[in-house]
Structure 1
Amino acid sequence: MEEAWRAIRESPRFSPYITAWKLIQSRPARWADFPPGIHPQLVKALGARGIQRLYFHQAEAYRAISEGKNTVIVTPTASGKTLCYNLPVLNSLLSNDDERALYLFPTKALSQDQLAELHGLIDLLQRRIRTFTYDGDTPQDARKAIRLQANIVVSNPDMLHCGILPHHPRWAKFFSRLRYVVIDEIHTYRGVFGSHFANVLRRLKRVCRFYGPSPLFICCSATIANPAELASRLLEEEVMVIDDNGAPQGDKLVVFYNPPVVNEALGIRRSYLHEARDLANLILQCGVQTIVFATSRLATEILVSYLKQEMERAGKEENLVRGYRGGYLPLLRREIETGMREGKILGVVSTNALELGIDIGRLDACVMAGYPGSIASTWQQFGRAGRRQGLSLAILVASSSPLNQFIVNHPLYFWGRSPEMARINPDNPLILINHLKCAAFELPFEEGEAFGSQDPAEMLRFLEEERVLHLSGGRYHWMSDSYPADGISLRSVSSDNFLVLDASNQDRSLAEVDFADAPSTLHEKAIYLWEGKPYLVEKMDFAGRRAYVRPVEADYYTEAITYSHLRILDCFEREDLGCSRRAHGEVHVVEQVVGFKKIKFYTLENLGSGEVLLPEQEMHTTAYWLTIPRPVLSQLSLSPSEVAGGLLGLSQALRSVACLFLMSDPRDLASYIGEEAALDRAPAREERDPFRSVPWVPHGLSASSLVRTDFEPSLFLYDDYPGGIGLSVQLYQIHGELLRRTLELIQACPCPHGCPSCVGPLQEVGEGGKRAALLILKAALGASS
C-alpha cells in the first residue's frame, strides 16, 4: 500500500492534481468484558472465533437491549455491528427456544451474506437454533416448514410486505412468539423506500398486536446526522442510540483528486472516469486489492471494460477485475463476493451495491469515480478500504459537476460537516392510502383505530366510497377481488423488473433491470454493458418486461435522450417579491425516452444519434419554482438564445447548490424550465422534438416562446419521488439564501463563458450563457436580497 501511495504522490502525472489529503490516525480498540447474563455456551462459541471480549459499543448495545429498550447502533463500516444484535437474540434463544426473531435486510444479497455469518456462529453453539431465509427465491415446499419451525427468519422489506404480512394466519405461531425484530442498514430507508417501509412496520406492529406480543426493535445504521430521528420515525417508538465506537482502525489516508483542465477556455477537465481508471490501475499493478465505486451502472461497466483491458496489456488475466452491481443475477454476485474474500479477484468495480455490509473481505484501497452525492455515502464507501492494522488508501476523483468541484475545492467543508439527514414521509397520501389497503386486507379496521400516528378515518371513508372497503358492525372490511400488496412496489412506481435475455444463447437470462431504468438502458439499438462486454438490444418487449440482446463488437456506448414535461396541479404558496416570484406546490411530471446518442469509448466523441419512442412515465410530486417577470427580463437586453442558455445554466447551478444546502442526494431533486402561466396545457410538438436545430432551447421552452413579448420563465426544482419527500417546501423557505449561494458559486468560477463546474458546458449554454445566468440571477435577487 505504501508503494502505491508513494507512486501517486511522487508522480508528475498525478501529484499536481491532489487538492487535499488527510491522514486519519489509527485508533486502538476499547474493550469491555462480557456483561453478566450471557449464556456460557455463547461465550465459549465466541471464544472459538477468537472473541474473548466485546468492543465497548457491543457491550453497551447488549445492556440496552437486555433492559428492553428499542435500540439503534450507529458505528462505521466493519465495526462489529452484526454481533450487537446476534448476541442478545442468540442469548435469548439459548434460554427459551420457543421465541422467534425476524431479521430484515434491505437486499436479498445482504440477507444471504448475514445468514452465512449467523450459521457459522450457531454451528459453534451446538444447539438447534433453526435459522432460514424467507424471500422470493425460497422454494415453495420449504415455506411451510420455515413458517412453523424457524427460530430466526431472515428476510427483506419487500417479502415482509407482500409475502408474509398478507398471509399472517399461516404465520400465527411465529407472530405469537415474536420477541425481536432486527432492522439492519436503516440509513438506506430514506425517500420513497423509507416512507413505504415505515408503513410496512405499522402493518407489522398491527399484526403483532393481533397475536399478542410487542417485539423489541434492534436497528443498525451507518453514520448519518439523524439516526435517532430516523429510527423513531420508522418505528414510531422511542429509541436508545449507541454510537460510541470501540472497534479498532488502522491508519487511513483520504485523498481528494481533481482531474487536470485540458481546455482552459471551455473549462473542460480530463474525464474523471479516465483518471479513476489510471489511478486504480496503478494501485492494482502494485498488487493491492482495490474497490472502485462508480455513481451509475453505465459508469461501472465502462470502468470494468477499461480496467480489464489494462490487465490484458500488463499480461495478466482480465478476470482479476470484475464488475458488481444491481441487475447481476444472484449466482454471479455470489461468485464475485467469494472471489474477493478469497483474494482470487484483485479489483472490483461497483455501484453503491457494495456500500452495504456484504462481506467481501478487508480491502486496502478504494477509488471513487465521482462524489456519490452525500457525505454519508462517501464515508460508507471510504469504509470499504481499511484493515484493523496497517495503512489503507481512499481516493475521491471529482467529476466536472458543480457539486463534485465544490467538495474537492473546499475540503474543510467536507471534513467539518456532519453526514446528511435521512428523510422520510410515511404520511405521504399516495403511499399511506396504498398501505391502508394492505392493512385492511390483513385485518379489518375498527372505526376510530389509529394507523401508527395517523387517524385514517377520512381515507377509510374514501376507500368505502370507492367500494374497496365495506363498513359493517363498526369495522371496515376488504371487499375487492384484488390482492393489494402484489401491485405496490416499496422502491419505485412499478414493481416490474425487466429481464435481459441473450438471444445468441437460447435466450439465457443475463441480468435484471428495474422498471425505472429500463427505458433509458434497454431501448432498441442501445448498447447494454454486462461485465464490461457490449451487447446490442435487438428488441424491447415493454409489455412483457423483456429485452433481447446479442453480443457485438462495439467501440461505443449509448446514452438516452429524455424528454420531460411538467404541469402545475396546485400552488400551495406563492409570494411576489417584485423582481421575482417564489412558489411551491403539486406538479405532474411526464418523462419519455425519445432518442439516444452514441459515445465513443476513451475519446467520448459523439458518433451520432437515433430516435426511439417508448411509453411515457408519469409522476405526481411536489416542486419549488422561481419565476422571472417579463419586465425584469426585458431590461436585461438579452437575445433569445442568451436567455435560453442563461436559464439552462442557472437551473443547473441552482440544483447543485440546493443539494448542497439541503445536504440531500442529487438524485432526490430534478429540474425543469417552463412557463408558470402555460403549464396547464399539453406541450406542442415543437417542444417535444429532441432533434430540433434551434440551439440551447432547454426543457419545456420552445423557440417561439422565447421571442414572445409576454414570456415569463419559471425554473422548477422538484422532488424526484412520487408524492414528494418535503424538499420543495424547504427550498421555498430558503429561497433568498439559495439564490445568493448560487450567485457565489457562479461568480467564484474562473471560466469566462461557462463550464461544467458552474453553469454547465459551453456547448450546452452557449457563449453568453454564464453572463446571462448571472444577469438573470442578479435581477431576481434585486427583490429577495
Structure 2
Amino acid sequence: MNGESAPAGPVPEDLLRTLVGDHPERLVHVHEVPARRAVLGAWPEWVDPTLLGSLLASGIEAPWSHQVEVAQAAHAGHHVVVSTGTASGKSLGYHLPMLSDIIAGATAPNGRGATALYLSPTKALAADQLSRIDRLALPAVRPATYDGDTPTDERRWIRDHANLVLTNPDLLHHSLLPGHERWSSFLRALRYVVVDECHVYKGVFGAHMAAVLRRLRRVAARYRSEPTFVFASATVADPEEHASRLLGMPVTPVTRDGSPRASMTFALWEPPLLVDETGQPSRVSTITETGELLAGCVREHVQTVAFARSRAGVEVVARIAKERVPVTDEHRVAAYRGGYLPEERRELERSLRAKELLGLAATNALELGVDVSGLDAVLLAGWPGTLSSLWQQAGRAGRSGERSLAVLVASDDPLDTFVVHHPEAIFGRGIEATVVDPDNPHVLGPHLAAAAAELPVTEADVEIFGPQTRVLLDALVARGILKKRPRGWFWGREDRPADHLSLRGAGEPVRIIETRTGRVVGTVDDSSAHSQVHTGAVHLHQGQTWVITELDLDDHAAFAVRGDPGWTTQAQSVSDFQIVHETEHEEWGPLRCSFGHVTVRHQVTSFLRRLPGGEVLGEHPLDLPPRSLATKAVWWTMPVEDLTAAGVAEDGIPGAAHAAEHAAIGMLPLFATADRWDIGGVSTALHPDTGLPTILIYDGHPGGAGFAERGYRRIRPWLSATRDAIDSCECPEGCPSCIQSPKCGNGNEPLDKRGAVALLDLVLRHADPGAGGAQ
C-alpha cells in the first residue's frame, strides 16, 4: 500500500439521484471513468537508509512503478518529466534522489554538500512541499521556503545554510538570479531543480519560464554546476516536447501511471432553459445551479469543492450554498480565491484538510495553490478553459480506494453547450497540446537584458537562448539598453532590468482599500482593474459587497466602502484593430484567411447598473485611458456580394459577424490550450485595412501566446464546431449558450444567430480542407 486509508465516501449514484431530485432532464450524460490497478516497484538500492526508514514509517511500503522510473532517471543525471494523474505521488519520484543526495552530501567538508531548488507556480504549493518534507524528520535536510513573505533576517541564513530551497519562478527571476553572487555556495552545489505543475507554464507565462530556466542554466554554469531538471505535471498532452521547450534541452518522459485509482462517476449537467416575463429564453445561472448543488452535497455531508472561473463567481457560489444549508452548517461553507490575504488562505487550507469545511467554492488558485486531494466530490461551474484544467480539477476528488463524483455544470456558453451534448469531446480525446513559444521577441528581449545584467552575454549563450537571440541583442544595443564589447553584450545602466519585467504579464496589482480605515481588503490584477474596480463598480469579496468610490491608476489603488446598493455593474467597452503584418494566408476563392501581427486598441467607456432580475437602471460614462496591445491574430474576410448571396444582407453583416466572432471565441479553447478569457475578438462590416467585412480573433497577451496560431492551423474543424454549436442551440434568436458573450463590451448588440450560421456556412463551403491553413 502507498498512502493512508480513509473512511468510505458516498456512493456516486445515490448522491447524483439526490441532487437530480425531480429534474432528471438536467443530467445530460453520465460517464464512468474506470478504476486503475496499482503497479508496484522496488526501492532503488541507492536510496538513503534514513530516508527509507522515514518513508516506511509513514506507511509507504513500496513505491509505484512511475516513482521508481523518475527516481532512477534523475539519479542517473537525466533531465526527466513525469506526467501522471492527480494525487499519483509524483513528488516521491524526485524526493528519492534529491533527498538521498542531500543527506549524502551533508557530511561534505564544506558543510553544504548537494543542494536542490524546488519551483512551484504558487507560494502555497511550496509551503505544502515543505510540510511534507518536514514530516519525514530528516536531520541532514535543511529545507526552507524563500519568497516575498520571507523576513529579511531569515534570507541570509537560507542563502548560506539551507540545502533545499522551495520558491517560485518570480523570486528566482527578481532575486536569486540578479543576486547570484550571494547564492554562490548554494549554486556551486546545485544538484537538482524541480519544476512542479509544469503544465501551468504555457502561452506567455511559459515563454517567460523558458527564458528564466535558460538564465538559471547559464548562471549555474558560472559556478561549475550542471543540475538535473525534473518536471512534474498531472495534465500535459506531450510532456516530453513541452518540458524540452521549457528547458531548451532533451527531457526523458515518464507517463505510465503505476498508482491505483478507484472509479469516478463523471456527470454532465445542464441548467434548464426558462422563459422570462418578456418571453426571452435564458438558462438558470450556472453559478446559481452550482451553489444549489454544493449545498446539496453539504447537506449529505459530502466534502466537496466547487470550482468557479471568476473571483466574483466563487463568492456567489459560496453565498448561495450558505443560504441553502441548515444554519448549523453555514460555518462549514467558504470561498477561496486569489486576492485574499495570506493568513485567510492558510486558515481555509487548514480547515479543508482537517475536514472542518464541507463545502468550498474556489477558483483555480486551489487547483494549483495547495495540495488537496481525497475529496468526495468536485463541481465545475462551467468549462474550465481546457481539458487539462478539467481533469486537474476533477482529479481532486477520490479518497484512497473509494469511488468519487465529478459534475460539470454547463454555463451559458457555446463551448459548454457543445461539450455536454457531445461527451466524446471530453471523454473520447486526449488533452490539448500546450503552446509555448520560447522565441517570442516581446518576452525574450527583456530577458536577454536581464541575463546581461547577471553575466555578460557571450557568443556561447546564443545557442542557449535560441535563433532570435542575435537579432534581439542588436536591437537592445541600438536602443541603448546593452553595450557591445569584444567579450560580449553588457548591461550598462544603473537600474536592474528584472525590476521592470513581470513574469505573469499582469503589471502591479491594484489594491482594494477600505476608505474609512485604510485597510487593504484584497487585490485585483492590473489588466482587470479597468473593468472590475472602476469608479462606481460593485465588487464582491468574501461574500461581502463593496462599492468602489475611486480608482487611482497612478497609485494602483481602488478605494471602496462596504455595502450592497441592490444592483450589480457591468463594464462597457469599445475595441478596434490595425493589421500590422500578415505573415501567412490562404485564399479560399473569394474569401481570404490570414494570420499575423496586429495592434488591438481597447477602452472601457462606461458601465451599466443592473437589478438582480437583469433590468438596466442606467448607463454611466467613465473616463479611462485606452489600452493598446501588440499581439498575433487570425482573421478572415468575406466580400459583401458573397455574403448577400449566402443570405446575409448588407445591413445584417454587423450582427452576423459579431455573433460568429463570439461563438468562435467560445469554441477556440476546444482546439488550443486556452481559456476564453485568454482570447479576444473584433468584427466589423468594413475594415479600413482590408476594405471588406472582417472577423478577427486575437491572443490577449503582448506578442501573442500561440492560441490564434493554433486556431489558424485548425481553422476548418474550429469553425465547423462553431457553426454546429450555434445551429444546434434550442433558443430561437440567440442566447449565452450560443452567440452571447459574458465579456462583450457592447452589451451583446447587435447579434444575428441565423446570419452567423449563414456566414459560417459560406466560409466552410469555400475553405479548402487540403490547404495548409485550413486543416
Q: Tell me, yes or no, whether TM beats 0.5.
A: yes
RMSD: 2.4
- Corresponding residue of 1:701: none
Superposition deviation, residue 3 in structure 1: 6.8
Matched, 1:234 2:234: no
Contact 2:481-2:492 at 8 Å conserved across structures? yes
Q: Is the deviation greater in 78-87 or in 174-183?
A: 78-87
Kept in 2: contact 1:257–1:397 (CA 8 A): yes
Deviation per residue, 1:310-356 (Å, 9 max, x gap): 23xx2225332111111111110000000111122121110111112
* Counterpart position of 1:44: 53
Paired residue for 2:109? none
Distance 1:59 1:738, change over 3 A: closer
Distance in 1 between the 2:67 and 2:719 partners?
46
Q: Is the 8 A contact 1:754 1:767 kept in 2?
A: no
Look up the SS of the partner of 1:492 in the other structure.
Answer: coil
> Quick check: 1:32–1:56 contact (8 Å CA) kept in 2?
yes
Q: CA deviation at 1:764?
A: 6.9
Q: Does 1:9 align with 2:23?
A: no
Q: Which residue of 2 aligns with 1:697?
A: none
Give how far 1:467 is off.
Answer: 1.9
1:648 to 658, 679, 689: 658
- Residue of structure 1 in register with 2:704 after alignment: 724
Q: Secondary structure, in 3 states, of the residue corresponding to 1:418?
A: coil
* Partner Cα separation in structure 2 for residue 447 and residue 172 of structure 1: 24
Farther off after superposition, 568-577 or 167-176:
568-577
After superposition, where does 1:221-300 map in structure 2 within 5 Å? 221-263=233-275, 266-300=280-314
Query: Identity of counterpart residues, as a percentage?
Result: 36
1:689 corresponds in structure 2 to none
In structure 2, the gaps of 5 or more residues are 1-8, 107-112, 769-775
* Aligned CA distance change for structure 1 residues 63 and 636 (closer, same or farther; 3 Å): closer
Q: 2:499 aligns with which of 486, 501, 505?
A: 486
In structure 1, C-alpha distance between the alignment counterparts of 2:244 and 2:515, rounded to whole Å: 49
Per the TM alignment, residue 767 of structure 1 is displaced from its structure 2 partner at its CA by 9.8
The 3-state SS of whatever aligns with 1:517 is: helix
TM superposition shift of 1:677? 4.5
Q: Is the 2:79–2:252 contact (alpha carbons within 8 Å) kept by the matching residues of 1?
A: yes
Is this contact kept in 2: 1:563–1:593, CA < 8 A? yes
Instruction: Work out which of the residue numbers 671, 676, 681 in structure 2 matches 1:671.
Output: 681
1:759 corresponds, among 735, 739, 753, to: 739
Asked if residue 783 in structure 1 is aligned to residue 763 in structure 2, the reply is no
Amino acid at match of 1:275: E
Q: What's 1:623 paired with? A: 633
Out of 305, 311, 320, the residue aligned to residue 306 of structure 1 is 320
Contact 1:187–1:224 (Cα < 8 Å) also in 2: yes
What is the deviation of 1:428?
0.6
1:556 and 2:539 aligned: no
The equivalent of 2:403 in structure 1 is 391
1:516 Cα deviation from its structure 2 partner: 1.2
Give the number of aligned pairs. Answer: 747
Query: Are the structure 2 counterparts of residues 393 and 738 from structure 1 closer, same or farther at C-alpha, using a change threshold of 3 Å?
Result: closer
The verdict on how the C-alpha distance between 1:535 and 1:316 changes in structure 2, with shifts beyond 3 A counting, is: same
**Cα distance, 1:85 vs. partner?**
1.5
CA contact (8 A) 1:17 1:260 kept: yes
Residues 381-460 of structure 1: pairs in structure 2 closer than 5 A:
381-447=393-459, 449-455=461-467, 456-460=469-473
CA distance in 2, matches of 1:7, 1:53: 34
CA deviations over 1:635-691 (Å, ceiling 9, x no partner):
4575565322211111122223333233543233221113674259xxxxxxxxxxx
Name which of 29, 34, 39 aligns with 1:20.
29
1:751 to 1:540, Cα distance in 2 relative to 1, 3 A: closer
Secondary structure in 2 aligned to 1:237? coil
In terms of mean alpha carbon deviation, does 630-639 or 251-260 score higher? Answer: 630-639
User: Does the 8 Å CA contact 2:658/2:751 hold for their aligned counterparts?
Assistant: no
> Which of 461, 476, 498 is the aligned partner of 2:489?
476
Which residue is 1:180 aligned to? 192
Are the equivalent residues in 2 in contact too, given 1:190–1:422 (CA < 8 A)? yes
Match of 1:351 in 2: 363
In 2: Cα distance, 1:465 partner to 1:16 partner:
65
Does the C-alpha gap of structure 1 residues 72 and 656 become closer, same or farther in structure 2, counting only changes over 3 Å?
A: same
Shift of 1:782: 4.4
CA distance in structure 1 between the partners assigned to 2:749 and 2:464 by the alignment: 53
Contact 1:3 1:286 (8 Å CA) reproduced: no
Q: Is 1:584 paired with 2:567? A: no
Give the drift of 1:246: 2.0
Choose the corresponding residue for 2:174, options 162, 167, 178: 162
* Greater mean deviation of Cα atoms: 418-427 or 624-633: 624-633
Name 2:341's counterpart in structure 1.
329
Q: Distance in 2 between matches of 1:292 and 1:268?
A: 23
- Separation in 1, partners of 2:318, 2:621: 28
Q: Is the 8 A contact 1:579 1:781 kept in 2?
A: no
Distance 1:352 1:493, change over 3 A: closer
Look up the match of 2:530: 519
Mark the CA change 1:7 to 1:246 in structure 2 (over 3 Å): closer, same or farther.
closer
Tell me the distance in 1 between the aligned counterparts of 2:717 and 2:34: 37
- 1:544 CA drift (Å): 0.6
Q: What SS does the corresponding residue of 1:316 show, helix, strand or coil?
A: helix
Q: Which residue of 1 aligns with 2:6?
A: none
Q: What corresponds to 2:757 in structure 1?
A: 774
Range that drifts further, 463-472 or 163-172: 463-472
The residue aligned with 1:107 is 122
Matching of residues 46-125 of structure 1 within 5 Å: 46-97=55-106, 98-121=113-136, 123=137, 125=138
Q: Deviations over 1:122-161 (max 9, x none)?
A: x2x3x23221111111111221221111101111000000
TM-score, scaled relative to structure 2: 0.92
Structure 1 pair 56–780 and aligned structure 2 pair: CA distance change class (3 A): closer
Given that residues 656 and 753 in structure 2 are in contact (C-alpha distance below 8 angstroms), is that contact kept between their aligned partners in structure 1?
yes
Listed one character per residue, the Cα deviations across residues 535-576 of structure 1 (whole Å, up to 9, x for unaligned) are 111222111111121210343332222322211112223444
> Which runs of 5 or more structure 1 residues have no equivalent in the other structure?
681-710
- Provide the residue aligned with 1:373 in structure 2: 385
Q: 1:322, 1:345 within 8 Å by CA — same for their partners in 2? A: yes
Letter in 1 for 2:380: M
> Is 756-765 or 584-593 further displaced after alignment?
756-765
Q: Residue 739 of structure 2 contacts residue 751 of structure 2 at CA under 8 Å; is this kept in 1? A: no
The letter of the residue matching 1:340 is L
Contact 1:467 1:480 in 2 (8 A): no
Task: Return the alpha-carbon distance in structure 2 between the equivalents of residues 382 and 361 of structure 1.
Answer: 10
* Aligned partner letter, 1:120: R
Determine the C-alpha separation between the residues in 1 that align with 2:373 and 2:758. 53
8 Å CA contact 1:659–1:669 kept in 2: the answer is: no
Kept after mapping to 1: 8 A contact 2:658/2:683: yes
Using the TM superposition, give the Cα deviation of residue 119 of structure 1 relative to its aligned residue in structure 2, in angstroms.
1.5
1:464 match:
477
What's 1:139 paired with?
A: 151
Distance 1:556 1:261 in 2: 24
Report if aligned partners of 1:66, 1:88 keep a CA contact under 8 Å in 2.
Answer: yes
Task: Tell me: CA distance 1:47–1:605, structure 2 relative to 1, closer, same or farther (3 Å).
Answer: farther
Contact 2:32 2:266 in 1 (8 A): yes
Q: Which residue of 2 aligns with 1:219?
A: 231
Q: Give the letter for the 1:17 counterpart.
A: R
Deviation of 1:451 after TM superposition, in Å, equals 4.8
